[in-house]
Amino acid sequence: MNAVINGRKECLKIAADGGRRLNILPEYNVSQVYLSGYWKEEDAFAVRFRWIETVHEKELTFRFEGEKCSITEEGVVGRFPSLGGVTEAYLEAP
């Protein structure tokens, strides 16, 4: 998956086979993160971020509706939702 992180283009490797793929994101204090992805529903693909040697995880859910895509972010600390809850963003195809 191609992403822009802090203004820098990154090509993220996401395991969709039940495993995790190691990515190096130098913009973060803890730069090593494992990514895995799965289809939560027919129209929703989730990507789980797991930072190495921390209890911090993040999940982005991409929900596809026609030519639109909404993105929901949920932070997790130690398998519990973090304070701050869930945020959402919406994208539309040009």
d(CA 23, CA 84): 25
Neighbouring residues of 27: CB distance < 8 A, sequence distance ≥ 6: 5, 6, 8
Read off the pLDDT of residues 18-75 as tens digits, 9 standing for 90 and up: 999 999 987 767 788 899 999 999 999 999 999 888 888 889 999 999 989 999 988 8
Looking at the whole model, is its pTM more than 0.85? no
Domain residues for 31? 2-92
Q: Quick one: pLDDT at residue 38?
A: 96
Total tally of structural domains belonging to the chain: 1
End-to-end CA distance of the chain: 19
